[in-house]
Amino acid sequence: MPTLTAPTDRDDRILTTLHPPAVRTEPAAIDVLHAYVLESVGHDPVVWPGGWPEEIEAALIDAVFSVRARYGNRERKTGVFGAVTRWREQRGARVDDLRVLAATAPDTLRTITNNGKIAGRYKAEVVIDAAGALVKASIVTADDFRHHQNLAKPAYLNVQGMRPGDLGLPTHAQRS
């Protein structure tokens, strides 16, 4: 069981930044949350609680299939988690090469994942197009992504189905 410590002045500064005075959170609630996080995660978590480190294919499938979806049950392998898990199992190898995902037939990926749709397109098609756009931007592996995030965002957001307008978010023109 982790040792619990009282919040520091730094914690108060962070919370003030996150919750300006007009939206102050009760100190007792903050203490309860702080204690819960320390008890659940600890001061220095040794295990990453989620995500797909070094698995860019899994991360991309997760990102696209998570839009307007339930994440699913890890034990029953349903929802987004199930779609990612089935892709990883089908590959049977390290899932860190977007060229493989980009070359996958849409019907094949839909069979492995599911028939979810976004902006009138199957999410499997969006994943394949996004993988292709990222490969075209010289992002093939998780390591490439780490070093070229500035290239990844425009490539990803230009794919039909992932554009801000496709997701119901205001576009640059609408914000002006």
**Per-residue pLDDT at 172:** 53
Q: What is the mean pLDDT of residues 65-86?
A: 85
pLDDT at 165: 66
- Under the banding of pLDDT at 50, 70 and 90, the label for residue 88 is very high
Three-state secondary structure string covering the chain: CCCCCCCCHHHHHHHHHHCCHHHCCCHHHHHHHHHHHHHHCCCCCCCCCCCCCCCHHHHHHHHHHCCCCCCCCCCCCCHHHHHHHHHHHHHCCCCCCHHHHHCCCHHHHHHHCCCCEECCEEHHHHHHHHHHHHHHCCCCCHHHHHHCHHHHHHHHHCCCCCCCCCCCCCCHHHHC
Sign of the Cα torsion 73, 78, 80, 82 reads positive
Q: What is the arithmetic mean of pLDDT over 47-71? A: 84
Nearest-angstrom CA–CA distance, 133 and 152: 9
Tens digits of residue pLDDT in 129-169 = 999 999 999 999 999 999 998 999 899 999 998 887 666 65
Judged against a pLDDT cut of 90, whether residue 71 lies above it is answered with no
What percent of the chain is predicted at pLDDT more than 90? 48
| Of the candidate ranges 55-59, 98-102, 123-127, 168-172, the one whose mean pLDDT is the lowest | 168-172
Which pLDDT value is given to residue 16? Answer: 47
